[in-house]
Amino acid sequence: MALAPPRSLLWRVFLLIAAVIVLAIGAWVQIFRAYDIEPRTRQIAQMVVSVVNITRSALITAKPDLRRELLRDLAEQEKIEIYPAEPGDRIRTPPEDRPMLSLLSAEIRKHLGDDTRIALERNGERAFWVSFFIDKDEYWVMLPPERVERQLALQWLGWGLLVMVLALCVAYGIVFRLKRPLAQLTGAAAEIGRGRLPAPIDESGPEEVETVARAFNQMTRDLARLEEDRVLMLAGVSHDLRTPLTRLRLAVEMSGSDAPTKEGMTVDIEDMDRIIGQFLDFARASGGEPPQPVDLRALAQEIAERYRHNGQALETDLHVVPVLTLRELAMRRLISNLLDNAYRYAGQGVCLRILTAEDSVRIEVLDRGAGIPAEETERMKQPFTRLEGARSNASGSGLGLAIVERIARMHRGRFDLLPREGGGLIARISLPVQAA
């Protein structure tokens, strides 16, 4: 399974900075090594040559009875030990592929002679071994390995790590400062998504963040104004249309046309009146009505009676639910809109249900029609949207579900359109029990 790249800004910045630092330090180490290796190796070679020469001279000039003491001193104080070479010595010579060691060997031989032997291990003991001659006898000088090894890389690694930790702290600081306004922005955007207008967000911070915040606040204000304008226009136009429509209906009644023509015109006028009614409802769904305690069960009972009285078949399943503080007229509008849809688009198996589930009171309108495809449900909640297809040629404004959605939101509730088991639609409103 491929490792997914981290999605949070914090981690991305972290990783990016870490990668940049590792690269930079790696490059520096390489550059430094390239420039440093030669002078450094010569220096080490010089030191080794001096040690061998001094040891050799000391051994030659020291009185024979003092040699033992000299060797002990060297071993104790300088960690340099001298051994006579044996014919059976097993030694490991430096590998050819290490440029630094090759250079070191060459430098040492240049000063001590070509017959000088160099080893990294003698008879199983790891150290830096250099041989020298006194007359025809060969001796080994054993130097502690740390004298010739480079501690450089590790030191650099330590510093690199420190720089990295510091840089990551700084990155954390930067991202942390960025995160706060971003979180605010996300919250505000989510509020808008839920159909509420968020409070203006902080217009401070780095220039870019400030610009975004200001643009966002401007957008929120524009949205609010747009919404107000739309509602006002809708309400105004609808209201002004009602009076001429009433006059028109009277005129049709009084006209001398034959009965079928009159009836057709009356039906059209009634359709127009209903659509205007929806426009007004949509405008009114913004509020205005004061909330009051409502027993949803009783309300549903009353609405059901009215539908049955009009000759509509309606099943009910009404449970006792807590009394909620609601806008009653809006709730009536909501339930009738859902029931009207059920009769218009399904026409059978219509059922109205009130129940409590998961801390919320539910209003459900069920039917046995064709339902709404899952991918269309969100779109249907938008104003003026209707399903394409044979069953939706009935006249409608496409505002019904938008009104339902608005009223549900106004009460901090949810509105879901779900498929019903066995075919049909469930329109479900969930209202929080603590809705005040």
What end-to-end distance do the CA atoms of the chain give, in Å? 50
Binding span for ligand ATP by CB under 6 A among 54-62, 192-200, 217-225, 385-393: 385-393
Instruction: List Cβ neighbours of 417 (8 Å cut-off, separation of 6 or more).
Output: 372, 377, 380, 381, 401, 425, 426, 427, 428
150 SS3 class: coil
325-364 binders of ligand ATP (CB under 6 A): 341-342, 345-346
Q: How far apart are CA 333 and CA 331, in angstroms?
A: 5
84 SS3 class: strand
Quickly tell me which residue has 């078949």 as its tokens.
Answer: 313
Q: How far apart are CA 11 and CA 32, in angstroms?
A: 31
In the set 291, 347, 396, 419, which binds ligand ATP (CB under 6 A)? Answer: 396
364-383 binders of ligand ATP (CB under 6 A): 367, 369-372, 380
Question: Shortest Cβ distance from residue 341 to Mg ion (Å)?
Answer: 4
Which residue's CB comes closest to ligand ATP?
400
Instruction: From 410, 428, 409, select the one nearest 418 (Cα to Cα).
Output: 428
Instruction: From 95, 2, 111, select the one nearest 46 (Cα to Cα).
Output: 111
Residue 370 binds what, of ligand ATP, Mg ion, none (CB under 5 to 8 Å, by partner type)?
A: ligand ATP
Our CA angle for 253, 257, 258, nearest 5°, is: 105
Q: Return the number of the residue (141 or 402) whose C-beta is nearest ligand ATP.
A: 402
Q: Return the number of the residue (181 or 413) whose C-beta is nearest ligand ATP.
A: 413
Contact (CB, 8 A) for 275 and 395: yes
Q: Return the number of the residue (220 or 341) whose C-beta is nearest Mg ion.
A: 341
156-185 binders of ligand ATP (CB under 6 A): none
- If one asks whether residue 386 binds ligand ATP (CB under 6 A), the answer comes out as yes
- If one asks whether residue 401 binds ligand ATP (CB under 6 A), the answer comes out as yes
Residue 167 binds what, of ligand ATP, Mg ion, none (CB under 5 to 8 Å, by partner type)?
A: none
Quickly tell me which residue has 């800004």 as its tokens.
Answer: 9
Residue 139 structure tokens: 């001796």
- If one asks whether residue 400 binds ligand ATP (CB under 6 A), the answer comes out as yes
- If one asks whether residue 387 binds ligand ATP (CB under 6 A), the answer comes out as yes
Map residues 249-278 to x or -, x wherever contact with ligand ATP holds by CB under 6 A. -----------------------------x
- Residues binding ligand ATP (CB under 6 A): 278, 341-342, 345-346, 367, 369-372, 380, 386-387, 392, 396-402, 425
